[in-house]
């Protein structure tokens, strides 16, 4: 329980300081506003990389923690902590924020100061959510995240932006109010808001919830997170919010905000209410599989490219939820990995779609066609990212999906079989849309003069592509660091669960490779 200085507090509040400083700049000083915001977000990213040093491989618990008393009654403490899972989610956030700033360099051309202030405040909320270890603090940052996102969609979005922003707020708020009820109930039962303390109390048997209470509390938290993920059938806010948001808004929304839901499931639903989670698992898995297939099918028939990518998010995150609720170590690792991979890939997809929009101001696939000729570089990047999104081996999407399917197959082969069809369908809609947009003949004259990627755009895409490739090749770098927390979550659910790994070379929670076949490991038990 090392208290590593104030890195976590810095990560949470530095963007807020940056936003405050931005307010002092003149509103029409466009260039410096953008540069300042870029510098702030890059500094934040570099600072977040420092966490990699502090969280050792194979550590369980929370290697980085910060604690301060805040309110004496009720006892709410300023308790931040990072483990392998939250560390990478924070790094994902801080990586995508400079990308968002760069993506809006040309696209946003009014009220630029307010835009960047909102973006930075959003970063504060999201980083705070991932790092909070106090339930109340978690809720606080969760709500803080709502307003900047709503403003981003509602002011700088496209035609139906106000409708999308209000829908987003109402849906998310409905969920979070339910979560608040659950939190207050838990506080009443345990006398504290501190998450590790409550986890320990439940795990040691000090707090025993009746079946009915457990299932109700589980649902209270789960519905809030399911709205965020989004899980079918609570997903209807997503297409509107994504399509109407500006490019930066979509990147941050798809890349990071959706992961808050799955992160919440891992942190709250599973460890605190294991019995209820077990009982709810078949239903949740059914919804997840429906989401995978339904999301993919609807994406297949979309004429709007951005909506297609939005539905692909529904589909991919269905995989994550499935991986979480299979209750296997491998699938949990796959779920966390897929969260990170999806963040990068779909963020990149939205970035590319936004670049197309910057040029032609439309998202309709029918308006494009044959873009390979005027924009070969953009087309190459698009293909690369699309391949990663559909799970091509050696790219990041493969690792996550494979681990999820492998782990799920060990638990329920039928779930995995249904989910695997989603992989095929994702290839369908991504490749087909790529063909319609980039291959074939140029049918619309305006497309002939389109400019290829500018240095700024190429730089962003190169950064994302390198990360995609790196994540696909050297996945152990990541999995080693969150294997132990994943295992801890599973163990908290049921100490008797068998941890099965049938890969020939497995990575042990202690780090390092283990040259044993799965059969040998099973025989050892």
- Kindly list the residues in this chain that would bind other proteins in the complex (CB under 8 A): 71-74, 139-140, 143-144, 146-147, 150-151, 154-155, 161-162, 165-166, 169-170, 173-174, 177-178, 180-181, 184-185, 187-188
Nearest distance from residue 256's CB to other proteins, in Å? 19
Helix (H) or strand (E) holding 479: helix 476-493
Nearest distance from residue 42's CB to other proteins, in Å? 27
CB atoms within 10 A of CB 219: 17
Q: Which CB atom, from 70 or from 439, has the smaller least distance to other proteins?
A: 70
Q: Which CB atom, from 138 or from 434, has the smaller least distance to other proteins?
A: 138
Query: Given the structure tokens 């969760």, which residue do they identify?
Result: 142
Nearest distance from residue 152's CB to other proteins, in Å? 11
Q: How many CA atoms within 13 Å lie on the side-chain side of 325?
A: 31
Nearest distance from residue 72's CB to other proteins, in Å? 6
Q: Where are the beta strands (DSSP E) in 72-226?
A: 76-82
DSSP 65: E
Four-residue CA torsion sign, 447, 448, 454, 457: positive
Which residues fall within 8 angstroms of residue 14, CB to CB, at 6 or more apart?
A: 40, 43, 44, 47
CA gap 61, 82 in Å, rounded: 9
| CA distance to 290, 335, 486, 515, per residue, from 230 (Å) | 12, 15, 22, 39
Nearest distance from residue 95's CB to other proteins, in Å? 26
Q: Which CB atom, from 43 or from 166, has the smaller least distance to other proteins?
A: 166
The CA radius of gyration of the chain, in Å to the nearest whole number, is 22
Q: Which CB atom, from 72 or from 496, has the smaller least distance to other proteins?
A: 72
Nearest distance from residue 180's CB to other proteins, in Å? 7
Nearest distance from residue 189's CB to other proteins, in Å? 10
Q: How many CA atoms within 13 Å lie on the side-chain side of 148?
A: 25
Q: Which CB atom, from 72 or from 210, has the smaller least distance to other proteins?
A: 72
Q: Which CB atom, from 139 or from 482, has the smaller least distance to other proteins?
A: 139
CA gap 107, 134 in Å, rounded: 38
């Amino acid at each position: 329980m090392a208290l590593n200085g104030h890195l976590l507090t810095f990560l949470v509040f530095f963007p807020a300081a940056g936003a405050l400083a931005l307010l002092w700049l003149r509103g029409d000083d466009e260039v410096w506003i953008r540069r300042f915001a870029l510098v702030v977000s890059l500094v934040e990213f570099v600072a977040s990389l420092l966490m990699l040093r502090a969280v050792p491989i194979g550590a369980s618990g929370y290697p980085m923690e910060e604690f301060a008393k805040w309110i004496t009654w009720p006892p709410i403490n300023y308790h931040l902590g990072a483990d392998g899972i939250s560390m990478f989610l924070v790094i994902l956030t801080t990586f995508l924020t400079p990308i968002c700033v760069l993506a809006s360099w040309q696209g946003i051309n009014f009220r630029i100061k307010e835009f960047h202030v909102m973006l930075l405040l959003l970063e504060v909320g999201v980083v705070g959510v991932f790092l909070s270890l106090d339930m109340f603090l978690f809720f606080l940052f969760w709500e803080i995240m709502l307003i900047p996102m709503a403003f981003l969609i509602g002011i700088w979005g496209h035609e139906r932006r106000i409708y999308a922003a209000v829908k987003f707020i109402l849906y998310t708020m409905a969920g979070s109010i339910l979560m608040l009820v659950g939190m207050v109930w838990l506080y009443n039962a345990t006398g504290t808001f501190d998450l590790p303390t409550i986890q320990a109390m439940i795990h040691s048997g000090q707090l025993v919830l009746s079946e009915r209470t457990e299932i109700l509390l589980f649902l209270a938290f789960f519905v809030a997170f399911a709205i965020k993920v989004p899980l079918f059938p609570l997903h209807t806010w997503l297409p509107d919010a994504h399509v109407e948001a500006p490019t930066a808004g979509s990147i941050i929304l798809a890349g990071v905000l959706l992961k808050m839901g799955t992160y919440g499931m891992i942190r709250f639903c599973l460890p605190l209410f294991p019995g209820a989670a077990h009982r709810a698992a078949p239903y949740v898995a059914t919804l997840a599989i429906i989401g995978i297939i339904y999301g993919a099918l609807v994406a297949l028939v979309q004429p709007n490219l951005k909506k297609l990518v939005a539905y692909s998010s529904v589909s991919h995150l269905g995989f994550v939820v499935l991986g979480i609720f299979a209750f296997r170590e491998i699938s949990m690792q796959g779920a966390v990995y897929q969260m990170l991979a999806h963040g990068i890939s779909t963020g990149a997809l939205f970035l590319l779609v936004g670049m197309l929009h910057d040029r032609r101001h439309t998202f309709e696939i029918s308006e494009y066609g044959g873009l390979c000729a005027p924009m070969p570089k953009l087309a190459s990047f698009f293909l690369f990212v699309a391949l990663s999104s559909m799970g091509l081996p050696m790219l990041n999407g493969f690792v996550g999906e494979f681990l999820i399917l492998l782990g799920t197959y060990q638990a329920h082969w039928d779930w995995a079989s249904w989910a695997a069809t989603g992989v095929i369908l994702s290839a369908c809609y991504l490749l087909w849309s790529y063909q319609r947009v980039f291959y074939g003949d140029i049918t619309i004259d305006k497309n002939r003069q389109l400019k290829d990627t500018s240095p700024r755009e190429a730089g962003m895409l190169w950064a994302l592509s390198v990360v995609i490739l790196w994540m696909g090749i050297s996945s152990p770098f990541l999995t080693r660091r969150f294997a132990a927390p994943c295992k801890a979550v599973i163990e908290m659910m049921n100490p008797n669960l068998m941890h099965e790994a049938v890969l020939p070379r497995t990575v042990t929670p202690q780090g390092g490779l283990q040259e044993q076949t799965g059969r040998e490991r099973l025989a050892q038990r």
